[in-house]
Amino acid sequence: MSARRRRRHEPEEEHENEERWMASYMDMVTVLMCMFIVLFAMSTVDQKKFEQLKDSLATGFGQVKTQKVDTASGVVVPPKQVDETGKNTDLTLAVKEAENLKELRDRILTALGKDGLQNAVTMKIDERGLTIGLVGNETFFASNRAELSQAATVVLSDMGPILAPTPYQVSVEGHADLRQPGAPYPTNWELSAGRATSVLRHLVEVDTFPQDRIAAVSYGSARPLPTATGTSDTDLAANRRVDVVVLSNQPDEVRKLIPQAIAGRTTTG
């Protein structure tokens, strides 16, 4: 009896679930179906929706939207620099600025030409603006002297009335050759500062250039011309100079494109 009773209370043996594989199989079928739907959708691409999807995914992954491309130069142009016609507004402004500086340069050369002094200065247009170099052996400054020569006063009198009405700031930058100066200048800093100040005073006091738009800078002998780094009389004379720099008032993004604008759209300065 006891043996029969124990068998009666023993739990029934569990049956193994032989259908569990169907869940995994159905999951795999679902994934395959999704993949084929995606492949089918990609085979008939809606370009507009594709671009929207691409931008959306780029934004979602922390990237910026696709920027417009200036096909003329082959560079990526930020949207804020592209107008409604697709043109690079910075380059357009740079071209305009280069034209303004070139027109200013030509007016100065015409005025100098009336006194036969068109070859007495050098002219360069770059990202800074228009640089007018007062350079020449004894033309503007004698050795160890900061006083303006007679030729220098004529050049400045031709330039000043043209520069004064413009909206530009002007930096008058003095330089000296590499030799140690004599009295009354203890160093080339004082000598080049004296030369820059002489030019500034003439522009302000004689040519009525506005004082709030001009400043004098001294470089001593620290910045010789790249073409005059030697000790010959010619090189030394070339560095006894003052550069009158008409500073472009455009933003940095525009100014750095001025050389490109000059090379491609205007006459080289």
Structure tokens belonging to residue 81: 């620099």
Q: What is the DSSP string of 154-203?
A: HHHHHHHHHHTTSS-EEEEEE---SSPP-TT-SSHHHHHHHHHHHHHHII
Contact 214/166 with Cβ under 8 angstroms? no
238: CATH = 3.30.1330.60
Q: Is residue 119 part of a domain?
A: yes
Position 60 scores a pLDDT of: 56
Q: Is residue 89 part of a domain?
A: no
Residue 205 DSSP class: I
Q: Is residue 9 part of a domain?
A: no
Instruction: From first to last of the 269 residues of the chain, give the pLDDT tens digit.
Output: 555 555 555 555 555 556 666 777 787 888 888 777 777 766 665 666 667 666 765 665 555 554 544 444 444 445 555 555 445 688 999 999 999 999 999 999 999 999 999 999 999 999 999 999 997 666 788 888 899 999 999 999 999 999 999 999 999 999 999 999 999 999 999 999 999 999 999 999 999 999 999 999 999 999 998 888 888 988 888 888 999 999 999 999 999 999 999 887 544 34
Q: Is residue 161 part of a domain?
A: yes
Residue closest to 81 by CA, chosen among 262, 249, 256, 263? 256
Position 264 scores a pLDDT of: 77
Q: Whole-model pTM? A: 0.66
Position 88 scores a pLDDT of: 64
Q: Is residue 79 part of a domain?
A: no
Q: What is the DSSP string of 63-106?
A: PPPPPPEETTTTEE--GGGB-TTS-BHHHHHHHHHHHHHHHHHH
Q: Is residue 193 part of a domain?
A: yes
Structurally, the chain folds into a number of domains equal to: 1
Position 266 scores a pLDDT of: 43
Report the SS3 class of residue 123: strand
Q: Is residue 257 part of a domain?
A: yes
Structural domain of 203: 101-265
Q: Is residue 173 part of a domain?
A: yes
